[in-house]
Amino acid sequence: MGRSSRSQANANRVRIVEVASGLFRAHGIEAVSISDVMQAAGMTQGGFYRHFASKDALAAEACELAFTKAAENWRRVAQDAADHGRDVANAITAYYLAHKAPEVTCPMVALATDVAKRAPDDPLRSAYNAGVRSLFDTFAELATTHASRATTDRLRMLFAGMVGSNMLARSGNGGIGPPAPETANKRRKFEHSPRAD
Assess whether pLDDT exceeds 90 at residue 185.
Answer: no
Per the prediction, the chain carries an average pLDDT of 86
Cα–Cα distances in angstroms (integers) from residue 161 to residues 146, 155, 158, in the given order: 21, 10, 5
The string of pLDDT tens digits covering residues 8-46 is 989 999 999 999 999 999 999 999 999 999 999 999 998
How confident is the model at residue 3, as a pLDDT? 59
0.95 cut: is pTM over it? Answer: no
Burial annotation 67-104 (CB, 10 A radius, 16+ → b, else e): beebbeebeebbeebbeeebbbbbbbbbbbbeeeeebb
Cα–Cα distances in angstroms (integers) from residue 28 to residues 32, 34, 70, in the given order: 7, 13, 18
The separation between CA 44 and the C-alpha centre of its own chain, rounded to angstroms, equals 27
DSSP category for residue 179: P
The string of pLDDT tens digits covering residues 133-175 is 999 999 999 988 755 556 778 888 989 999 999 888 877 654 4
